[in-house]
Amino acid sequence: MRFIPHWRKATWVIVLWTVLMVLWIVSASGSLNSVSCPRTPCMPDAPLNNGAAVVLIFFLWFVGFVVFSLIWLMSRPERRLCPVCGEQVRKGLTVCPKCQYDFAAAAASRASAP
d(CA 41, CA 102) in angstroms, rounded, equals 78
Structural domain spans, the chain: 9-74, 79-112
Residue 54, judged by CB atoms within 10 A of its CB (0-12, 13-18, 19+), counts as middle
- pLDDT of res. 92: 80
Q: Cβ(19)–Cβ(11) under 8 Å?
A: no
Q: Cβ(54)–Cβ(25) under 8 Å?
A: yes
Q: Is the pLDDT of residue 20 over 90?
A: yes
Tens-digit pLDDT profile for residues 40-98? 666 555 555 677 888 899 999 999 999 999 999 988 778 788 888 888 888 888 898 88
- Assessment of whether the complete model's pTM goes beyond 0.95: no
> Dihedral, CA atoms, 105, 106, 108, 112, nearest 10 degrees?
130
